[in-house]
Structure 1
Amino acid sequence: MIKKSVVFICGVFCLTLAQSGVSHARTKSKAASSAAAVQDTVPRSEYEKLKQEVEALKATVQSLIENETWARQSLGQPEARPVQQQAQKVAADTPEPNDETATAQAETAAPPPSRVSPEMGLEEGDRQKEAEEAKRELDQFLRSQKVLFKKGDLQVEFSATYAQDTVEIAPYKYKARAAGAGVLFRYGLIDDLELDISVPFTFQELELDTRNQLIVNRDGFARRDSSGLGDVSGSLRWGALHEDGLIPETTLSLNVKSDTGREGRGLATLLRPSVGSNLLIVDPSLGTGFWNIGGSVSLVKTIDPVVLFGSLGYNAVLERGRYDPGDQIPYSLGMGFSLNDRVSFSTSLNGAAVRRYKIDGREIPGSGGDIHSLNLAVTVQVAKGLFVEPFVNFGLSEEATDFFAGVNVPYRFDERYPLPFFR
């Protein structure tokens, strides 16, 4: 009896345990199904967030379409209708937001401007202005060949120079050394019309070697020096033609040079000994002693990356009393190029044909000549509007100065100073 009771109890226990396992399996299966359903469904908060982002994107696209239409109308360009229609179609397919979504959109999306800012309308003009300004900065080595300044622009150029020349007139040897400093003003009267005024100051020393004479007094040298204001000059330059295709930039100039520099006797005095001495009196000259009036034409042509330039002119030297020093035909031919956005290199051949000297209307044989020199220069921009230009010049003919070197420092002011009577 006891054995049967034990068997019965074990059977009931096993049956109960089996039913519990089946129930647990069913519960686990239902939980897994619920989890899968939860994973397949986007939460409400995520849905609202995505909806707000779609609405913000739609508003941004609509604003860009309106701004593009306004900008194209301002510039006279046709509207991009296919893009606008496609964007409107996308906006129409998107459901309208409710009040809560609209409020969230206003908080999260930055409102676009209702109109294009004035800077956008002037962007193209600003770029063109900046390009012209950059070109003017690079063209500083052409400042004596073309007009670079607009109305009211002002540039002041300081210079320091040194020159050395040697002339032999048997049995003498004549040496000249000159150190100079000057200031040059360039001013834009109106667009394409420029006024230049140059004021030089000179210190000059002349030395005469008389050691080859039969009678030598003391050390055989005579020295004289002088200093002061040189010949003040000015020019008026007009940009007649701008470079366009095969047409070069053409500039016409009117040049005037005064006789403000103190006139010396120069070599003429060297031929006359002073009384009681075998040394000759040397009287340095600070100027030519004659007025000069002339004109010239300059051409500039760009063949990237090289710029070619040249000029040809005529200077009438006004006679004074019995003396007529002879007119001059100056010319120049050169080239230059930019090494980078701040450094330019240029070289030029400068010259002048000088007509014969006249006294009392009669020409002096052999008094004419040709002056030729080679000039090398490097122009460096060290700051906005400020340049440093060292140069060296070598004489190529007997009449030219043997050696001439110096440095120019141009500075262009940022402000403009237009004259009220120039319109």
Structure 2
Amino acid sequence: MRTVEEHRAAVAALLSPLPEEEVPLGAAHGRVLARDVTAAVALPGFDNSAMDGYAARWADVRAAPVPLPVVEDIPAGRTDVVPLAPGTVHRIMTGAPLPPGADVVVPVELTDGGTDVVEIREAPPPGSHLRMAGEDIARGAVALQAGSPLGAAQLGLAAAVGVGAVPVRRRPRVLVLSTGSELVAPGQPLLPGQIYESNSRLLVAAVEDAGGEARRLHFVPDDVDQFLATVRAELASADLLVTSGGVSAGAYEVVKDAFRGLGTVEFVKVSMQPGGPQGAGTVDGVPVVTLPGNPVSAFVSFEVFVRPALRRALGHLSPDRLRVPARLTGPLRSPAGRRQFLRGRYDGGTVSQVGGPGSHLVAHLARANCLVVVPEDVTDLPAGADVDVLLIEGALQ
């Protein structure tokens, strides 16, 4: 039986770093930087005011209260700023360039707000309310590191330092295929023994959440020839094929029967629950990961094996889910020799189990916001015991 770590390594080895491409900032949200991005300009680009008020020489205002003539107005965007003469002030707005000679900005709240002559009623310490050129980032410095996901703050920084396009890893193109003669498209009438197909919807969303581009192939019945024909017609356009179902030990396991004949996909048992039966390899040179068919097994298997491999290929510095400690609100049991991934609700340092361990309980999965990880050598844990949990984004609140 393969360990979780061994199978993670096998799946990760299938996917190489994805090619680099350059995209404009408007198309870069959610992408991952392929190379460091340096600042084309310093931030701030010039000394400027952090407040609406009056640019002054501290030597002229230290004896406040004191009246001083206002000889210039400096709105944000003014470019012809003149030096500040001793014994005068310039009225200045937030973000406007600081006049040479000024070493303090007196906020308007500490004055009478005058426009010809202003009374400085209180003087802040020298150097107050100034933003100095380059204090945030220097020109030429690394603004964003390779491997950084590009969210709102990162895109804002890129724009602020004058970057119009960024180098990113291409999104992985993932084919998703569910198998089973019992499957029916949602919305169609069910006959006895049939179920609605849900795994492909689950896995497409999981691929997109991981940063990939997913495409559903129409689910196929348990027919080896039809399965292989469907797969091979689409593989050339993919970086990865993910299947669900057809990998257990019973009869009519179409994925196992089809790929075993090719000799390039290895089917194994992994010491975990749910998700014991797994497969990984290549078909026609394209990486393939085969997941079990029960919805919870498919989801957990994707989280443990496929998601980190996709994110690593995208160049993420931290490809794994955030793992945090928590205290159990109730006792739990786990089978010996298998790492258990239980659905849970994490709340402020505590975690409670959601539903039972059954791999078919998808309604309980939808209410979970984490997976509780129970090591292979642990069979019983009391309430109050410490456990590790994997936080899952996008769970129902």
Higher strand share: 1
TM-score (norm 1): 0.19
Higher relative contact order (CA 8 A, sep 6+): 2
Larger radius of gyration: 1
Higher helix share: 1
